[in-house]
Structure 1
Amino acid sequence: MTAAAFRGARRLPGTLVFGAVVVGAFIVLAVLGPWIAPFDPDMFSVRSRLLPPSTTHWFGTDEFGRDVFSRVLAGAHYSLLMGFGATSLSLLFGIPLGLIAAFDRGAVGETIMRAVDVLISIPPILLGLLVLAVTDPALWKTIIAVGLVYVPIMTRIVRSVGLGLLAEDFVQAARARGERAAWILAVEILPNAWPPIIVETALRITFAILLGSALSFLGLGAQPPASEWGLMIAESRPFIDRAPWIGLMPGICLCALLISVNLLGEGLRELLDPRLAGRG
Structure 2
Amino acid sequence: MTDAPRRRRRVPLSLVFGAGLLAAIIVLALAGPALSPYDLDAMQLDVRLAPPSAAHWLGTDEFGRDVLSRILNGAQTSLVMGFGATLVSLAFGVPLGLVAGYYRGVVDETIMRVVDIMISLPPIILGLLILSVTSPSLWKTVLAVGFVYIPIITRLTRSVTLEVAGEEYIQAAEARVESGWYILFHEILPNAWPPIIVESALRVTFAMLLAAALSFLGLGVQPPASDWGLMIAEARPFINSAPWIACAAGAALCVTVIAINLFGDGLREALDPRLSRKR
The two structures have a TM-score, normalised by structure 2, of 0.92
Q: Give, in angstroms, the shift of residue 15 of structure 1.
A: 2.2
| CA RMSD across the alignment | 2.0
Shift of the alpha carbon at 1:220?
Answer: 2.0
Query: Structure 1 regions of 5+ residues with no counterpart?
Result: none
* Higher mean displacement: 96-105 or 237-246: 237-246
Q: Per-residue deviation at 1:78?
A: 1.1
Aligned pair count reads 275
> Deviations for 1:91-120, whole angstroms, at most 9, x for unmatched residues?
110111111111222222210011111211
**Aligned position for 2:213:** 214
Residue 131 in structure 1 maps to residue 130 in structure 2:
yes
- Equivalent positions of 1:49-88 (< 5 A) are 49-88=48-87
Would the aligned equivalents of 1:219 and 1:231 in 2 still touch at CA under 8 Å? no
Shift of 1:262: 1.7
The TM-score with structure 1 as length reference comes to 0.91
Give 1:142's aligned residue: 141
How many Å separate the matches in 2 of 1:170 and 1:151? 28
2:12 is aligned with what amino acid? P
Separation in structure 1 between the aligned mates of residue 238 and residue 203 of structure 2, nearest angstrom: 33
The alpha carbon displacement at 1:208 in A equals: 1.2
Q: Which residue of 1 aligns with 2:193?
A: 194
Is the 2:215–2:222 contact (alpha carbons within 8 Å) kept by the matching residues of 1? yes
Look up the match of 1:19.
Answer: 18
Query: Where do 1:90-239 residues align within 5 Å?
Result: 90-239=89-238
2:164 partner SS: helix
C-alpha change, 1:10 and 1:104, in structure 2 (3 Å) is closer
Percent of matched pairs sharing the same residue: 62
Distance of 1:170 and 1:279 partners within structure 2? 23
User: Cα–Cα, structure 1 residues 269 and 190, in superposed 2: closer, same or farther, change >3 Å?
Assistant: closer
Structure 2 residue runs without a partner (length 5+) = none
Q: 1:204-254 deviations in whole A, cap 9, x for unaligned?
A: 212111211222222221101100111111111222222211222101111
For residues 118 and 104 of structure 1, the distance between their equivalents in structure 2, rounded to whole angstroms, comes to 21
* CA–CA distance in structure 2, aligned partners of residues 196 and 233 of structure 1: 31
Does residue 35 of structure 2 align to residue 36 of structure 1?
A: yes
| Aligned counterparts of 2:11 and 2:154: Cα–Cα separation in 1 | 30
- The amino acid that maps onto 2:233 is A
Provide closer, same or farther for how the CA distance between residues 95 and 57 of structure 1 changes in structure 2, counting only shifts above 3 A: same
In 1, the alpha carbon distance for the partners of 2:119 and 2:70 equals 35
